[in-house]
Amino acid sequence: MAKNPVIGLLGGGQLGRMLCQAAAPLGITVAVLDAEDCPAKQINQNSLHVTGSFKDPEKIKTLASRCDVLTVEIEHVECDVLEEIATKGVEVPSPDGHGTVMKRVPVHPSYKTIRLIQDKFQQKEYFAKNGLPVAPQMAIESGDARSASIEQAAKSFGFPFMLKGAKGSYDGRGNFKVRGPDDFETAAAQMGDQPLYAEKFVPFQMELAVMVMRTEDDDGNLKKVYPYPVVETIHEDSICTKVFFPPRNVAEGITRRAQKVACDVVSRLWGRGVFAVEMFLAGDEIIVNEVAPRPHNSGHLTIELVPQRSQFRAQLDSILDRVPSSEFSFIPQFPSALMLNILGGAEPQSHDRLVKLTTDFYHPHANATLQMYGKSSKPGRKIGHITAWGQSAIEQLSERTSHLIRCMDEIRAERIGSTEAVRESELQSGPTPLVAVTMGSDSDLGTLSAGLKVLKDFDVPFVVRITSAHRTPHHMMQFAAEMNKSGCKAIIAAAGGAAHLPGMVASEVALPVIGVPVRASVLDGMDSLLSIVQMPRGIPCATVGIGNSTNAALLAIRILGVAFPEYADKMKAYQEKMKNEVLAKDEVMLSTGWEKYLNRQA
């Protein structure tokens, strides 16, 4: 391959545009086959572009003749010509200046993958044959046999079942849910003459997606597959509209399995590139829905979440075979992110207010960026997207961006002419606590109150809970686990007597835990102190003086200062104030004399 290879890209929509965005800083040239003013060409000026349709075989050959490798931003391209280019080659002028020679141009992903993906029925037959989890399906006959064939499907799968067009559709368009025999006629009429298949309905609770990068040697042997983090996708009106990382309320075991399934799927395809594997989560089961052999809407948030190697960068790295030789993985740089599509609304300017909310967005612990595609607005058309990301859990991020989500839902409601579509945001919980305060019993609250006041004075967001180590052990552990995953930075735990709470919480979390010994009815608090401070090697508990919740709070604030300079500054100011107060008292004592001072105190 040439030193500065030229990539030929079929299709110059938003995916192509973002691929070009990733290519330019790397010094990689991308030649695009699409209309003159397509989104990709707007941000990528060069003399190698071809004007025309990515379905036109002649144009594809022209593009190939100018490039070192071909790739696609859409799977609905002319596949036979890609096979011809990859295997027989295209005519190019001979290097010796006389006549022409044939130049073979690699196509990634392989034309074999693209051809398989173009037929959704065949795609899933292939996955099933390879032992991958897919929903049962059957082909539907065409012509006169169609009605009987649909009835047969109903008999096999029961109601509801899905009727799907095998070719040319994407984004869930061309699907029909058959709820009962009354639907047969409507379905047949609506689906028309296209090749159909029926699929058993999967009563899924969530849709998951995983982007996978696939590398291959020059002989077409799989080198490796690398999964991105799993995301949750939301579809409305058969269009992906929202993407959440991580999926909400999904156990880590499940996301790990989803990555495994996605890798298995992509291992069985051909060629280099990134692939989106869309899956249903039904109970604990993961079922493959479909695959896109290219960058995908569900991977847009990798631009911000995995800035070191977004899905677009990975597509370039893979097709140019420039993947680092060291073991590596796609490490998210933030604990949460979400993507919201900007869809054209009822009016050409409907989305303007959503754009404005996004460019205006400010929150100290969350961010939102805008990505417009340079496309004119049409109702329901993807014309841009928003990515939000944060230093906290996905629930808090959703809450902090709930005005964006609400605006998006309103624009949709206007477009589809229904106010019902405006869902109340699912995310109504309060602001992320930075400090969690917990006690073994409500009788400890008096001891804690001085510390709570300090947290309030320092403007620390905190939460106060009762979680007894002995009376509610599971509740305690669950609370600790939750705090560990949220944006919380330190935990204060108070307990008395056989004071196990602070140490038990410390066992569950990786955060610093501060223990406050509460003086119980006997032993003057010594029992509490020793129960808290004498933790075994391996699990530290930062212990403060007996009953001294003030110091527990101040210690928590010093810890926050390690991450957030604003708290370090406040602490310095507090210490300065404390010093000045004592100095002032000393001055008074010096000037009035200790005896008068004593009298005044009395």
Site residues (CB under 8 A) for a second copy, limited to 376-415: 384, 391
Closest to a second copy by CB, 106 or 246: 246
Q: Using CB under 8 A, which of the segments 52-60, 89-97, 189-197, 326-334 binds a second copy? A: 326-334
**Rounded distance between C-alpha atoms, residue 373 and residue 38, angstroms:** 9
User: Does the protein bind a second copy through residue 88 (CB under 8 A)?
Assistant: no
| Cα 487–Cα 385–Cα 254 angle in degrees, nearest 5 | 50
| 517 CA to centre of own chain | 42
User: Does the protein bind a second copy through residue 234 (CB under 8 A)?
Assistant: no
Q: The tokens of 142 are what?
A: 């065409």
**Rounded distance between C-alpha atoms, residue 414 and residue 411, angstroms:** 5
Quick check: 503 and 535 in contact, CB under 8 A?
A: yes
Q: Using CB under 8 A, which of the segments 74-82, 144-152, 156-164, 355-363 binds a second copy? A: 355-363
Regarding beta strands 490-496 and 435-439, do their DSSP bridges make them parallel or antiparallel, or are they unpaired? parallel
By the 10 Å C-beta count (0-12 exposed, 13-18 middle, 19+ buried), 42 is classed as middle
Least distance to a second copy from the beta carbon of 483, Å?
13
User: Does the protein bind a second copy through residue 233 (CB under 8 A)?
Assistant: no
User: Does the protein bind a second copy through residue 51 (CB under 8 A)?
Assistant: no
User: Does the protein bind a second copy through residue 370 (CB under 8 A)?
Assistant: yes
By the 10 Å C-beta count (0-12 exposed, 13-18 middle, 19+ buried), 317 is classed as buried
Q: Using CB under 8 A, which of the segments 24-32, 83-91, 168-176, 469-477 binds a second copy? A: 24-32
Q: Using CB under 8 A, which of the segments 117-125, 219-227, 294-302, 316-324 binds a second copy? A: 316-324
According to CB under 8 A, which one of 234, 355, 427, 589 is a site residue for a second copy? 355
Question: How many residues bind to a second copy according to rule CB under 8 A?
Answer: 81
Applying the rule CB under 8 A, the residues between 154 and 213 that interact with a second copy are: none
User: Does the protein bind a second copy through residue 550 (CB under 8 A)?
Assistant: yes
Least distance to a second copy from the beta carbon of 368, Å?
7
Query: Look-up: residue for tokens 């996708």?
Result: 233
Least distance to a second copy from the beta carbon of 577, Å?
10
Closest to a second copy by CB, 130 or 359: 359
User: Does the protein bind a second copy through residue 331 (CB under 8 A)?
Assistant: yes
User: Does the protein bind a second copy through residue 511 (CB under 8 A)?
Assistant: yes
Closest to a second copy by CB, 374 or 380: 374
Q: The tokens of 398 are what?
A: 């959703």
| Residue 567 CB partners (closer than 8 Å, separation 6+) | 458, 460, 557, 558, 560, 561
Is the peptide bond preceding residue 332 cis, with omega within 30 degrees of 0? Answer: no
Applying the rule CB under 8 A, the residues between 569 and 588 that interact with a second copy are: 571-572, 575, 578
Query: Look-up: residue for tokens 């073994």?
Result: 440
| 439 CA to centre of own chain | 35
**Rounded distance between C-alpha atoms, residue 116 and residue 110, angstroms:** 10
User: Does the protein bind a second copy through residue 559 (CB under 8 A)?
Assistant: yes
Closest to a second copy by CB, 163 or 511: 511
| Cα 138–Cα 144–Cα 150 angle in degrees, nearest 5 | 30
**Rounded distance between C-alpha atoms, residue 397 and residue 40, angstroms:** 31
User: Does the protein bind a second copy through residue 551 (CB under 8 A)?
Assistant: yes
Least distance to a second copy from the beta carbon of 587, Å?
19
- Cα–Cα distances (Å) from 46 to 35, 56, 71, 298, in that order, read 14, 21, 18, 29
User: Does the protein bind a second copy through residue 301 (CB under 8 A)?
Assistant: no
Q: The tokens of 121 are what?
A: 């029925």
Write the DSSP assignment of 337-396 as a string of letters. Answer: EEEEEEE--SSTTTTHHHHHHHHT--BTTEEEEEEE-S----TT-EEEEEEEEESS-HHH
Applying the rule CB under 8 A, the residues between 97 and 136 that interact with a second copy are: none
Closest to a second copy by CB, 181 or 545: 545
Closest to a second copy by CB, 82 or 386: 386
User: Does the protein bind a second copy through residue 25 (CB under 8 A)?
Assistant: yes
Applying the rule CB under 8 A, the residues between 459 and 488 that interact with a second copy are: none
Distant-in-sequence contacts of 43-51, Cβ < 8 A, 24+ apart: 43/17, 43/374, 44/17, 44/20, 48/6
Q: Using CB under 8 A, which of the segments 89-97, 201-209, 284-292, 539-547 binds a second copy? A: 539-547
| Residue 321 CB partners (closer than 8 Å, separation 6+) | 1, 215, 218, 272
Closest to a second copy by CB, 288 or 357: 357
**Rounded distance between C-alpha atoms, residue 278 and residue 297, angstroms:** 11
Least distance to a second copy from the beta carbon of 204, Å?
25
User: Does the protein bind a second copy through residue 558 (CB under 8 A)?
Assistant: yes
According to CB under 8 A, which one of 183, 216, 232, 304 is a site residue for a second copy? 304
User: Does the protein bind a second copy through residue 512 (CB under 8 A)?
Assistant: yes
According to CB under 8 A, which one of 136, 158, 220, 307 is a site residue for a second copy? 307
According to CB under 8 A, which one of 97, 283, 417, 538 is a site residue for a second copy? 538
Please count the residues of the chain: 602
Quick check: 359 and 370 in contact, CB under 8 A?
A: yes
Q: Using CB under 8 A, which of the segments 71-79, 101-109, 204-212, 508-516 binds a second copy? A: 508-516
According to CB under 8 A, which one of 102, 563, 583, 590 is a site residue for a second copy? 563
According to CB under 8 A, which one of 158, 181, 348, 545 is a site residue for a second copy? 545
Regarding beta strands 285-292 and 336-343, do their DSSP bridges make them parallel or antiparallel, or are they unpaired? unpaired
User: Does the protein bind a second copy through residue 297 (CB under 8 A)?
Assistant: no
- Taking each helix axis from N to C end, the angle separating 473-485 and 501-508, rounded to the nearest 10 degrees, works out to 50
> Helix (H, G, I), strand (E, B), or coil: what is residue 244?
strand
| 335 CA to centre of own chain | 9
According to CB under 8 A, which one of 362, 417, 591, 595 is a site residue for a second copy? 362
Closest to a second copy by CB, 179 or 356: 356
Q: The tokens of 68 are what?
A: 């070192």
Least distance to a second copy from the beta carbon of 355, Å?
8
According to CB under 8 A, which one of 21, 65, 241, 311 is a site residue for a second copy? 21
According to CB under 8 A, which one of 128, 154, 421, 539 is a site residue for a second copy? 539
Q: What is the DSSP letter of 307?
A: T
User: Does the protein bind a second copy through residue 53 (CB under 8 A)?
Assistant: no
| 134 CA to centre of own chain | 23
User: Does the protein bind a second copy through residue 46 (CB under 8 A)?
Assistant: yes
Least distance to a second copy from the beta carbon of 434, Å?
9
